[in-house]
Structure 1
Amino acid sequence: MDLVRHLECFVAVAEESHFGRAAARLGMAQPPLSQRIQRLERELGVRLFERTSRQVTITEAGTLLLAEAREVLARSESFLAAARRIRDGETGLLRAALTPDVSGETVAALLADFRRRHPGLELELRELSTAEQLAAFAAHELDVGLIHHPCDVTGLELGPVLHRDLGVLLPRGAVAAGLDEVPLAALTGYDLVLFPRDSAPAVYDDLLTACARGGYTPAAVRHGRGTSFVRGLVLSSGAVALGPRDTHLLAGPGDTDPDLVWRPLAGAAPAWRHSAAWPKGRGDAAVGAFTDAATHALRTTAGARFEPSARPLHLRPASEYWL
């Protein structure tokens, strides 16, 4: 028995006190309505209405059950409305991820924009490298993320590709620190601090290739991901680090850090390329809201720009780096 439909019939007859008017209200014929009321009475084991040729009167049992029936119908409508919101991506849980290089300002801007767009949706935001996000997508543990390109995007859909120019973080006493823009060749003699290669292998190889093409082959590559650790390596080990200005490895804004400076790179500087990504066929309204919020946050807080050219996103042959 369809309990909800039978209760709708019960409430309609109780409020109309007439089978004909109740049937018209429900958009059905009178005989099926009478049959549903009779079946409901059999299921409940109580008589809901007293019927005569002239009128229909609700019984005492019917009166006692009427409020409960209305509450069940209200809960049913609330349940169906919630299901529609979940189906349309307007509520529920969205599992999302950002790469570790995203600054605190960008994270805050993204969260504020997303909450404004979808106040009823819970956002579970994690910090995962591109490789970790790809593994989470494959394991069905992630709904949407912000990834670095190039990477293996098989089975994924992508949002707009954004471009963040890289600069160099170096000791304030370095000769190159006095330049407005630093040629890569001017970094010769310094070790290079990069994120671990397994975090984003193709991006790692691209950066080393760009450095080699620009005349800089580091004597050693040191690996670090946390801000404090990278900062310590640059300060103490004759190393430099590449990153966008907004990574906030400096102790103060602009050039107020007493120990380190960030300078843009001269010429055709390497860049980081990002986009939101999600499994194919899973791009609902919530994923769209996250993509829009991430794109807007990167553009307004990190100086990201839309990709200036249609560069390929596919992977190139694996290697430590290539020329």
Structure 2
Amino acid sequence: MEFRHLRYFLAVAEELHFGRAAQRLAISQPPLSQNIRQLEESLGVKLFHRNSKEVRLTAAGREFVPRARALLEQAGDAARHAREVDKGFAGRLRIGLVSSMLYRGLPKLLRDFQAKHPQLRLVLRELNSQGQVVELVHGQLDIGFVHTQRLPPSISRVLFASEPFLCCLPEGHALANARKVAVAKLEGEPLVMFSREASPDYYERVLAICSDAGFYPEVRHEVRHWLSVVSLVAQGLGVALVPQALKDSAIPGAVFVPLDKVTARSEVFCAWRTADDSAALDAFLKQVRAR
């Protein structure tokens, strides 16, 4: 059974006349009759009672009409969906993100992109940078927002955000009202850090900032989410060096103060598999570059 058989069957079923059905299909009558016979043979049932005076649907033919219509509609929907996916208008885009992206303009970018591509389903997954790189390599993510530049050759990247580090302090801390904080003044303070395992790049960046100020920090707590870092500081369990974006987290009890004479910056990259040729991916990257 082929889709043309279904189209020919429905034309005859609606016209109940082979001549008119052939005219409607823009074919001659013999090929139409042959295709109906082929369909009946493939199904093993007779679909029409026909003689020189009339054409009538059999009971099986009447039952087959709505199912034949449904099959053709499904085929049409599948073809339209394939064309929309090819143009980037449908399908899904799997996006990985670190939690700090919630404060770096990603939600607005996603809303704007979704408004332009309402048929495209955006699927978000919160993962640390290392986890995203693994899933990008194995095709389990289409796009990642990562803190690391250490990417395999199969992954491309573009800078999404670059911002300074701030000192995050509990609001009752002696330095909480300072205009700027010299990193050296944090020597001896218990430091709350983003886990080395979750983001070795960030861990090493913060250690380097402290080392440049002449001391090795006392790392007291390691957590896997930036909001956990800020929350622990807010509870008076230490201090932290965090990306400026975390200032918008609005966690009560946490104060953010600029650092004095620190040039190191927090960077986020949008990453994807270089070999991907998805139209949806291309459209998303175009919006990322245009922001």
TM-score range, shorter chain: 0.7 to 0.9
Please state how far the C-alpha of 1:170 moved relative to its aligned partner: 2.1
Task: Structure 1: give runs of 5+ residues left out of the alignment.
Answer: 300-323
Name the CA distance, whole Å, in 1 between partners of 2:51 and 2:259.
89
Residue 197 of structure 2 aligns to a residue in which SS? Answer: helix
Decide which of 215, 218, 221 is 2:219's aligned counterpart. Answer: 221
Structure 2 residue aligned with 1:59, among 56, 60, 65? Answer: 56
Give the distance between the partners of 1:110 and 1:35, measured in 2 at CA: 56
Change (3 A) 1:238 1:199: closer
Bigger shift: residues 158-167 or 225-234: 225-234
Of Structure 1 and Structure 2, which has the larger fraction of its residues in strand? 2
Alignment-derived partner of residue 269 in structure 2: 275
Query: What is the aligned-residue identity percentage?
Result: 31
1:182 aligns with 2:181: yes
Residue range with higher mean Cα deviation, 99-108 or 29-38: 99-108
The SS at the match of 2:217 is coil
Q: 1:199 to 1:67 in 2, by over 3 A?
A: closer
Aligned to 2:151: 152
Q: Secondary structure at the match of 1:124?
A: strand
State the distance in 2 between where 1:110 and 1:145 align. 14
Letter of the structure 2 residue corresponding to residue 38 of structure 1: R
Q: Tell me whether 173-182 or 215-224 shows the greater mean CA deviation.
A: 173-182
- Matched-pair contact (CA < 8 Å) for 1:167–1:244: yes
Give the C-alpha shift of residue 225 in structure 1.
3.5
RMSD: 3.6
Q: Deviations over 1:18-71 (max 9, x none)?
A: 65665565455654333212212333421536364xx8x432325664444333
Per-residue CA deviations over 1:265-321 (Å, capped at 9, x if unaligned) read 23453222112222233353443565577789xx7xxxxxxxxxxxxxxxxxxxxxx
Q: Are 1:191 and 1:218, in contact at CA under 8 Å, matched by a contact in 2? A: no
SS of 2:99's partner is coil
| Gap change, CA 1:131 and 1:261, over 3 Å in 2 | same
* Conserved? CA contact 1:41–1:48, under 8 Å: no
Between the aligned partners of 1:27 and 1:218, the Cα distance in structure 2 is 84
Residue 155 (structure 1) shift? 1.3
Following the alignment from structure 2 to structure 1, what is the Cα–Cα distance between the partners of residues 173 and 151? 38
Alpha-carbon distance in structure 1 between the residues aligned to 2:123 and 2:20: 51
Distance 1:266 1:95 in 2: 39
List alignment gaps of at least 5 residues for structure 2. Answer: none
Kept in 1, the 8 Å contact 2:234–2:251? The answer is no
Which range is displaced more, 268-277 or 13-22? Answer: 13-22
Which residue number in structure 2 is paired with residue 134 of structure 1? 133
CA contact (8 A) 1:96 1:126 kept: yes
SS in 1 for 2:36: helix
**What is the alpha-carbon distance in structure 2 between the residues aligned to residue 75 and residue 121 of structure 1?**
19
Q: CA-to-partner distance for each residue in 1:60-94, whole Å, 9 max, x for gaps? A: 32566444433332232123323444455544444
Tell me the TM-score normalised to structure 2 length: 0.77
- TM value normalised by structure 1: 0.70
Q: Does 1:263 align with 2:257?
A: yes
Q: What is the 5 A alignment of 1:65-84? A: 65-84=64-83
Query: Could you tell me how far apart the structure 2 residues matched to 1:232 and 1:47 are?
Result: 74
Tell me, in whole angstroms, the C-alpha distance in 1 between the residues paired with 2:28 and 2:159: 55
Does residue 11 of structure 1 match 2:10? yes
Aligned to 1:46: 46
AA aligned to 1:163 is S
- How far off is 1:239 after superposition? 3.2
Partner of residue 304, structure 1: none
TM-superposed deviation, 1:161: 3.0
Report the Cα offset of residue 132 of structure 1. Answer: 1.0
CA distance in structure 2 between the partners assigned to 1:131 and 1:16 by the alignment? 64
Tell me the residue number matched to 2:241. 241
